[in-house]
Amino acid sequence: MKKRILTGDRPTGKLHLGHYVGTLKNRIALQNEYDTFIILADLHTLTTKPEKENIQKLNENIRELMLDYLACGLDPKKVVFYRQSQILEVAYLYLLFAMLVNKPRLERIPTLKEVMRDLKMENASLGLLAYPVLQAADILMVRANLVPVGKDQESHIEVTREIANKFNNMYGEVFPEPEALVGNEAVTLIGTDGKAKMSKSIGNCIYLSDSSEEVKKKVMGMYTDPNRVHGNEPGQVEGNPVFIYHDLFNTNKEEVSDLKSRYQKGTIKDVEVKEKLVVAINNFLEPIRTKRAEFENNPELIDQILLEGTAKARAEAQETLKLVKEVMGL
Stated pTM of the model? 0.87
pLDDT for 48 equals 85
Question: What are the structural domains of the chain?
Answer: 4-189+299-328 (3.40.50.620), 212-292 (1.10.240.10)
Q: Taking a C-beta distance cutoff of 8 angstroms, is the pair 170, 28 a contact?
A: no
Point out which residues pair with 6 in neighbouring strands.
37
Between strands 35-40 and 4-9, the pairing is: parallel
For residues 189 and 308, give the distance between their C-alpha atoms in angstroms, rounded to a whole number. Answer: 33
Between strands 35-40 and 79-83, the pairing is: parallel
pLDDT over 60 at 171, yes or no? yes
Q: Mean pLDDT across the chain, nearest whole number?
A: 91
What confidence tier does 194 reach under pLDDT thresholds 50, 70, 90?
confident
pLDDT tens digit sequence for 213-258:
999 999 999 989 888 877 788 888 998 999 999 999 999 999 999 9
The candidate with the shortest Cα–Cα distance to 20, out of 69, 76, 62, is 69
pLDDT for 188 equals 76
pLDDT for 302 equals 95
pLDDT for 40 equals 97
pLDDT for 231 equals 75
Residue type, 126: L
pLDDT for 61 equals 96
pLDDT for 81 equals 98
Q: Which residues contact 327 (CB under 8 A, 6 or more apart)?
A: 171, 172, 173, 174
pLDDT for 79 equals 97
pLDDT over 60 at 184, yes or no? no
Average pLDDT over residues 75-104: 96
What confidence tier does 159 reach under pLDDT thresholds 50, 70, 90?
very high
